[in-house]
Structure 1
Amino acid sequence: MSDDMEEIHNEDDYYTFLNIPRDASSEEINNAYRRLSRLYHPDKHTDPDRKMEAELLFSKTKRAYEVLSDAHMRAIYDNLGIAGLETQGWEIVQRTKTPHEIREEYERLARDREERRLQQRTNPKSSVTMTIDATDLFSVYDDESPYLDLRDLFGLPHIEISGMSINQSIEAPLTSKDTAVFSGNLASHNGNGNGGINCSVRRITSEKGWGEVEIGAGNGLTFTTKGFRNFSRGVFGNASLMSHFTANGVRLGTVATLANQLDKHTVGYLTWKAGMQSGMNTMIIRDTPSLHIVFSGYIGIPHTYIALSYTHKMPERDAKLKLTGKAGTFGAVVEYGAEKKISQNSSLSATLGVGVPTGVHLKLKLHRASQTYGATILLCEEILPAPVIYGTIVPLVSWLAIHKLIIQPYLRQQKQAELLKQREANKSRLLEKRREAMAAVDLMRETVRRIVEQEESRKGLVILQAWYGQLVLDGETQEDCGISPEVVDVTVPLQCLVKDSKLILQESSKCSLPGFYDPCPGEDKSLRVRYLFHAVTHEVMISDTESLRIPKQSHRMET
């Protein structure tokens, strides 16, 4: 959640304070204002302390009414909250503008702020990949060998890092339409290394396209031009032309891709390559909330292949299962694996591949924000049962152990630290809100006494007890554990909202209701109400943002 949204979320909600829906009519706003004005008007209180508290609450009621009854101010409040009424340049907006024009003005200012933010961002990206030769784990030793090997003495297999590659890039926004990208890479495999650097500038030429120029140096000088164009709805394409300058002359290569949106979830691609590489590739990608399928076929020199990849998404578990098959002139390979999100910005994946002539290999990858760390472990150059079984079971058991012993305790500790930090930051505000809520409850008591007498005389709606906050588990009662600091007694405020034996609460957080406050910011809250209707006890429990309408037959408690 952004800082702006966090600030808006922590503000008082005028709609909830007046207990009206967000699409309330002028009449509903006026009725709510009159009801609270009668309750908080300073002239109704003679005690100096109560009169002072009433003045503050009456001022808040009047402010809420002024904002929501004015179409201009209400449109600003709906878009930016209370802060938008005071800052963000809204003081220069003409009052003759309609609410729709005000929203358009807000969106324009938001785009300007986004452009300024982008110009201050470099967006660094990096990846580190290792290739590990672990074939010694599953090789068969010759016990009759006349040579003495140190591995025989210590019983340790020989595992080595046979390759490594590092890639790094940063973006440098020049203007709202121009972006420069600097990137570099280093790679080493079996003692041989290479690397290169690249610099490109991309310009958005229109809403339908962009162009890019790139210069690179490494194994010779390269110069590349790229372009993208959206031809019509659902049809787009891109093309690039690369010149590679070497000691033997200039080599040219071109790549062109045409794409078509086949339906809401499916896109087809056709790619043609000529020059340095020659071939044609077709690809169909289908992506839905529950699956991701990619089919591709390539005809070229020296390789030709077909491939199919299926990914099953499990968003409720933040996990994915993947199965891939690929076959061609180079051989065939089957890969299966899983990916799990381990925190808000990090994910971990493991994939086992079995193929000819590649053998058995295990790929591990950790993706954290804009950084990627990967390792490809060659387990066996042949297809044997042992490396396949170990390559499947060991990562699974290791993940379960790491998740239980390290990740879960770490995430719990992080959450607790964040909650403590948030509570400390909101401590003064929480005390002020608690004081304001207690003052509101004191001002309500006389009104509530009259409401209870009226409701009891006709066997109507009487609130027996009501609690708001982190409530106890089902099967327990509030009396069993007492009222904790994370729970607020809201019996009086709810009874004050009863009218004609009915109580209606809107679909929003209840913490802004008069007499309420948020006892545990950032945590899940509930509202539990026990009430009498027709001399029969009822009880209901809802989540913080859920609407409530009582009495209801379904709330009736069994006697």
Structure 2
Amino acid sequence: MAKSNESSEDNDFDPYLVLNVSRNCGQDEIKNAYRKLCQTYHPDKHLSPDLKRKATEKFTVLNEAFEILSDPEKRRIYDEFGMEGIRAASNSLIKYEDIKARFQQSGHVGGSSYQRDNTFVVQNTAEVLVDATGIAVILEDLSEDEDYIVAPLVVSQLSLATRATVVLSRKDFVIFQYHIQSRRKASSHSLTITTRRQFSSNSYGEVSYIISSQRSLLEGVFSWKLWRRLSERSTGMIEGSYSPLQSQPLLAVTNTRQLSPNTSAQLTWTAGLAPGVLFAFQNTEDSRTATGSMKLGMLDTSVSFGYRRVVGQNGHWKARGRWSIRGWELEVGIGRDLFSYEAAWSVSVRVGLDGIILKCKAGRSGHQIQVPILVVAHPSPLTAIAASLVTSSLFALIQRGIIAPYQYRMDAKRKQKEREERLEKRMKEKNDALTALELMKPAIERCRSREESVSGGGLIIIRALYGASSEISKLSIDSTLENTEQVADVSDALQYFVEDSRLTLYATTKARLMGFWDPTIDSDEKKVLRIWYKFKNALHECEVDDFLPVELPLLSHRVGSS
């Protein structure tokens, strides 16, 4: 099999497009298309050494496309797995079933990859609480002659958590969670084993067993959960737990409802040792997310809120607060998501009765590390309010003065790089199109002569323009392209596809047809193909979106017809 595709991107190679046949065509159509193209691209059809070399390159691609589509087994593999499947089949003598099994295991289907649950996924979280109040003590004692040394930073608490998910099948999962926490000389451990069954897309169930130890005491807790979609906008969940050390089991019933496209609300009722009612809501619009909750219970009553807003390309700032009968806290911070690295980081300051804590967090691919730093212990209310105001102002200044300008410069560099790459690709595509037109020239001239000799007048392409819709809408049949950069004249290339006074282009981007190229600078620019042609000596005109099929001639295209 020819290896020319190894030097080109798989996405730029489509055997159906190379032969200009539909995906449901028969073997006779494939053979006829191949024979016609051979008359254009066979090296022996060209005498010039330069044209012979160019024809050889095109002919190699043509043979590769024909080899795939003329073999039913290879065609079946390509239709489902793309060129990756063809390469796998060429490396060894294996059948379609073997290719399918291999791609299902690797998560590739239909010629493109999709995110499939891995058979084993591990996520780790580490939290290190640092007591930095010793720095203040050192600063206060700098002027005094002290004989003892105070440690400026002390790790007062260490917490490690590991979560491992085992995928038994598409419906069955087993989840192991281990958590260890060490504070001063005391430590606690817990192990949770959860089995989950996905009954359908509308329901699932979980059963968990939690083993925890604290101060030499071992406790086992059994819990369960059932979730079901009740309607298009409503879901329900019931969960409970039981422990031999508890006087009675715990039970919770939750109903979640979508109030609007952007707002959802949740109502939870709990019974047992900690009875109460919880109401929560979430509203998401464009770049902001607001949340709030209110809990009324015998052991805990609280009110909380949260607000998160996206800033710049991937940055964000957030604020949240909580008040309860046990205390209060306020937290503000900034962060950034690095999607290209599957990573994120954030910095925030939390103020509450426990003190002023600086929180640093970083994560990547499901793993996370948190470092809360206790700056001031047990601050006065005035100090806490002042710290929150100063922190909010500082974060705002950092965002406006450092992060926003940096993001602007990085976005400008990224866009400039994309533009340069786009221009380079456009030039290469244009050169390839000109090469193809040079090889197609004899066939195009024969086609025009043949159509001109048809009794009553055949199908003659007078002019065809391909490119940006905004530019083509301003042009007419006689317009020049001297001051237009995003439009290409593809009249000759389109005439090549005319056969027996008919022209058929299948539903795909026209930029990848022989003799065509994409002249637009922005890849997201809407592209159209506008055609003026004569049929039976009458002028016709039509305009077709880039990915729509083309059928010529049609009576509705006739100029002046209703």
Contact (CA 8 Å) 1:223, 1:242: kept in 2 or not?
Answer: yes
Q: Which runs of 5+ in 2 are unaligned?
A: 134-153, 353-379, 383-390
**TM-score if structure 2 supplies the norm length?**
0.67
**In 1, Cα distance between equivalents of 2:131 and 2:252:** 29
Q: Distance in 1 between matches of 2:108 and 2:494?
A: 44
Number of the residue aligned with 1:91: 91
What count of residue pairs does the alignment treat as equivalent?
Answer: 476
Higher relative CO (Cα under 8 Å, sequence separation at least 6) belongs to 1
Distance 1:374 1:397, change over 3 A: closer
Equivalent of 2:474, from 458, 473, 476? 476
Task: Name the Cα RMSD after superposition.
Answer: 5.1
Partner residue in 2 for 1:196 = 159
Describe the shift of the 1:282–1:375 C-alpha distance in structure 2 as closer, same or farther (beyond 3 A).
farther
1:470–1:524: 8 Å Cα contact kept in structure 2?
Answer: no
- Equivalent residues of 2:481, 2:487 under 8 A apart: no
Aligned equivalents of 2:104 and 2:252: distance in 1? 42
Tell me what 2:70 maps to: 69
Alignment CA distance shift 1:237-1:201 (3 Å) = closer
Q: Which of 240, 245, 251 is the aligned partner of 1:280?
A: 251
**Among 284, 303, 309, the residue aligned to 1:333:** 303
Distance 1:195 1:50, change over 3 A: closer
Distance in 1, Cα, partners of 2:489 & 2:40: 20
The DSSP-based 3-state class of the residue aligned with 2:269 is strand
> Quick one: distance in 1 between partners of 2:222 and 2:8?
48
What is the match of residue 270 of structure 1? 238
Instruction: Call closer, same or farther: CA 1:17–1:180 in 2, change over 3 Å.
Output: closer
Matched, 1:228 2:192: no
Equivalent of 2:283 in 300, 311, 320: 311
Find 1:324's aligned residue among 288, 292, 295. 292
Amino acid at match of 1:348: H
> Is the partner of 1:488 in helix, strand or coil?
strand
- Name the counterpart of 1:458: 456
- Per the alignment, residue 166 of structure 1 pairs with none
- Cα deviation code 1:151-201 (max 9, x no counterpart): xxxxxxxxxxxxxxxxxxxxxx9xx85555543212368959522234566
Deviation track 1:116-170 (CA, whole Å, cap 9, x = no partner) reads: x9xxxxxxxxxxxxxxxxxxxxxxxxxxxxxxxxxxxxxxxxxxxxxxxxxxxxx
Q: Determine helix, strand or coil for the equivalent of 1:21.
A: coil
Deviations 1:431-484 (A, max 9, x none): 7634532433434332243155247x6355432322334565365338466266
In structure 2, do the counterparts of structure 1 residues 435 and 552 end up closer, same or farther at CA, with 3 Å as the change threshold? closer
* Residues 274 and 27 (structure 1), Cα distance of their counterparts in 2 relative to 1, 3 Å cut: same
Matching residue of 1:216: 180
**CA distances 1:410-435 after superposition (whole Å, capped 9, x unpaired):** 434313313434665x5996476345
Q: CA deviation at 1:5?
A: 13
Residue in 2 that maps onto 1:417: 417
* Aligned equivalents of 2:214, 2:507: Cα separation in 1: 66
Identity of aligned residues (%): 18
Per-residue deviation at 1:17? Answer: 1.9
Q: Structure 1 residues 188 and 538, CA, compared in 2 at 3 Å: closer, same or farther?
A: same
Answer yes or no: is 1:18 the counterpart of 2:19: yes
- Say if 1:398 and 1:257 are closer, same or farther in 2 by CA, change over 3 A: farther
Mapping of 1:378-527 within 5 angstroms? 410-421=410-421, 430=429, 433-434=432-433, 436-451=435-450, 453-454=452-453, 458-470=456-468, 472-473=470-471, 475-477=473-475, 479=479, 482=482, 487-518=487-518, 523-524=523-524, 526-527=527-528
Report how far residue 20 of structure 1 moved: 1.7
2:213–2:219 Cα contact (<8 Å) kept: yes
Greater alpha carbon shift after TM alignment, 14-23 vs 180-189: 180-189
Partner secondary structure for residue 225 of structure 2: strand
Match in the other structure for 1:104: 100
Which letter maps to 1:235? Y
In structure 2, the residue matched to 1:32 is 33
- Kindly indicate whether the alpha-carbon contact (under 8 Å) linking 1:444 and 1:493 is maintained by their aligned counterparts in 2: no
Out of 517, 525, 543, the position equivalent to 1:540 is 543
How far apart, CA to CA, are the structure 2 residues paired with 1:553 and 1:351? 64
For residues 411 and 60 of structure 2, the distance between their equivalents in structure 1, rounded to whole angstroms, comes to 43
Distance in 2 (CA, whole Å) between partners of 1:82 and 1:283 is 48
Hey, what's the Cα distance between the residues in 2 that align with 1:331 and 1:435?
Answer: 75
Q: Secondary structure at the match of 2:32?
A: helix
SS in 1 for 2:444: helix
CA distance change for structure 1 residues 444 and 263 in 2, over 3 Å: closer, same or farther?
Answer: farther
Check conservation: 1:205, 1:211, Cα contact below 8 A: no
- How many angstroms does 1:326 deviate by? 1.6
Give the match's secondary structure for 2:523: coil
Deviation at 1:323, TM superposition (A): 4.6
CA-CA distance at 1:203 after TM superposition: 4.7
Does the 8 Å contact 2:312/2:404 carry over to 1? no
Return the offset for 1:73.
1.5
Q: Deviations over 1:309-328 (max 9, x none)?
A: 2434x6xx5x4554534231
Secondary structure at the counterpart of residue 473 of structure 1: helix
Distance 1:334 1:214, change over 3 A: closer
Decide which moves more: 256-265 or 199-208.
199-208
Structure 1 residues not aligned, in runs of 5+:
118-172, 383-390
1:373 — aligned with what? Answer: 346
1:407 and 1:229 map into 2 onto residues whose CA distance is 42
1:127 maps to none
2: CA distance between counterparts of 1:538 and 1:428?
A: 29
Shift of 1:517: 3.7
Partners of 1:490 and 1:55 lie apart in 2 by: 23
Q: Which amino acid aligns with 1:110?
A: S
